[in-house]
Structure 1
Amino acid sequence: MDDADDIVIDRQAARAWPAMVVEYARGWVLRSSPGVARSRSNSALPPQRDAVDGLSAVQEFYARRDQPILIQVSPAHRHSMLDDHLADRGFQRLSPTLVMRASLAEEPGLKVGRGRRTGVGGERWPVRLGHRDEAWTRTLQWVDGRSDAAGELVMDRIPGRTVFARVMDGATVASVGAGVVDGGWLGVFCMGTRPEYRRRGTATALLRSLLTWGRDKGARSAWLQVEEGNTAARKLYEAHGFEESHRYHYRRSTG
């Protein structure tokens, strides 16, 4: 991985899930999306350096909107000083997340042995690639436990070439996911599977289809984000060649 790839991925991720309101101040990316539950839509992304000096602008941005200050400390290894400063001020640490990346130089498949690849299981599951519709959205909301209709407006504003994927079991949507190609990168996000279909190969089939689609659209690398505690998802991604790029977490004001 290039030294700056972690920063590139963070900026890719910010574009792939665009906030409704975005302002820039002293290198900070300030994001607000009223009614949207996801943290990434309502958090501040710090500059590459000297992040502590710009905190007054962050505080003012969220105060004007009557929102708590939420900061995405990412890449975490580049912002230890900022993180320590926020901790000292009583900011709560939330949602530790692992960012992973993979090369798409080879045909996507399960990684086995010393770099060898084999076909992916779960081929019997049909995967549909297309546009977002109510069935796709409702499945994601049900799996995530979220019902914020405003989140749909965010997805409608995703730039670049975007595809919404689903695994079907008859008329039932078993798994969903999405991909966006931007600047030679494929971002994989909104992966979710109904509990009754987990460990049955649906997520494998879905991921492989998204990686193949991105490769066909000219992407050379892929990235995704997964909560550190989601060991099942991490194993799936690692089996497809994903490795850690960096980590992040959020810090939220408590006052």
Structure 2
Amino acid sequence: MTDQQPSPDNRPTAVVTGASSGIGAASARALAGEGFKVFCAARRLDRLTALAEEIDGVAVECDITDQAQVDALAQAVGGRCDVLLNNAGGALGQDPIETADVADWERMYQINVSGTLRVTQALLPAIEAAHGAVIFITSTAAETAYEGGGGYCGVKVAERYMAGSMRLELAGRPVRVCEVSPGMVHTEEFSLVRFGGDQTKADAVYSGVDAPLVAEDIAEAVRWIAVLPEHVNIDRLVIRPRAQASNWKVARSG
């Protein structure tokens, strides 16, 4: 955060993409608890409206793969953005390279990479004006490859290097570029979406795992980064549950 002039209602401004559920919704609540006016952006307006009412924020229907909707988001936010949380993303499928669905890979790239780029470009002038921060939610999928993860690992690596390149390109300018890399987080939708709505497969991801992370654990990291002094940059913060030693080494009971 910075000591420059806040938004007209005397609150610093945050934008959270993918705010309709999971890490995005939890982060919006955490930032609101720190006094931010949170612009909650996602495709599902009904969920956003309820969240915005709960935290005294602003709901903005936005598909980040649509440039016109991203431009409308930037216009709604205005000339100042203290924190941008690039959270919208996700995984589709877990097939090996041999049988992977090209359409799934293309969609993952559109959301995780191109969409994140669109939002970052659109809001960067307002972030710089606020001496603000861009926080990327990547994944431990960017740490190393794993079987069935080629597509998702690839897009999260691309997002990680977007953050890294941006940090170098903006060196000397008043913008913090930070990354949070979560491991196994049990949310209501991530694995369910990945497996096309197959609840059995989604539940199996967390089966026997003692205390996987929850969305609020990642939101706490986001909150902490957001309120640090503007000279403090958290290049990368990797967060896993104790039970997960790596992408492929997870302690399970039974």
Fold conserved (TM > 0.5)?
Answer: no
The structure with more strand, counted as a fraction of residues:
1
Greater share of helix residues, 1 or 2?
A: 2
TM-score (norm. length: structure 1): 0.31
| Structure whose CA Rg is larger | 1
Q: TM-score, normalised by structure 2?
A: 0.31
